[in-house]
Amino acid sequence: VQLQASGGGLVQAGGSLRLSCAASGGTFSYRALGWFRQAPGKEREFVATISWTGSSTFLADSVKGRFTISRDNPKNTVYLQMNSLKPEDTADYYCALDLDRLRSFPVRSAEEYDYWGQGTQVTVSS
């Protein structure tokens, strides 16, 4: 499975971006997907995850109310809509796929994800 993240860029504080992550080469459905981010000099942190049906989502407290995660299974794509962006949201954003169909939702630990995208950079200026 290959994951290709896109949509990052430079935006002013208060602005919006939508990240996309397209999967290819494997089964996308019946799998939870997540977004993580890593700022310079910091550890990778959980941002959001979505169940395979898309009916359940879970977001980190730091982005709750500002970010939304969604997925389009026929298109093998997961999205992260980011609104009201803050300078502290600046980071490389990574999408990830969990192959374990039996794992309880939400999956918030990076160690439990099996495939990762290459990352897309988000920079929020003040």
pLDDT tens digits for 69-104? Answer: 999 988 999 999 999 999 999 999 999 999 888 888
What phi-psi label fits residue 79: left (phi over 0), alpha (psi between -120 and 50 degrees) or beta?
A: beta
Joined tokens for residue 31: 């799998």
pLDDT > 90: percent of the chain: 83
What gap in Å lies between CA 33 and CA 10, rounded to an integer?
25
Q: What is the mean pLDDT of residues 104-119?
A: 94
27: pLDDT confidence band, cut at 50, 70 and 90?
low
Interstrand relation of 67-72 and 77-82 (parallel, antiparallel or unpaired): antiparallel
- Asked if the model's pLDDT at residue 30 lies above 80, the reply is no
Pick from 95, 91, 79: nearest CA to 122: 91
Average pLDDT over the chain, rounded to whole?
94
Q: Which amino acid is at 76?
A: N
Is residue 49 helix, strand or coil?
strand
Average confidence (pLDDT) over 23-37: 85
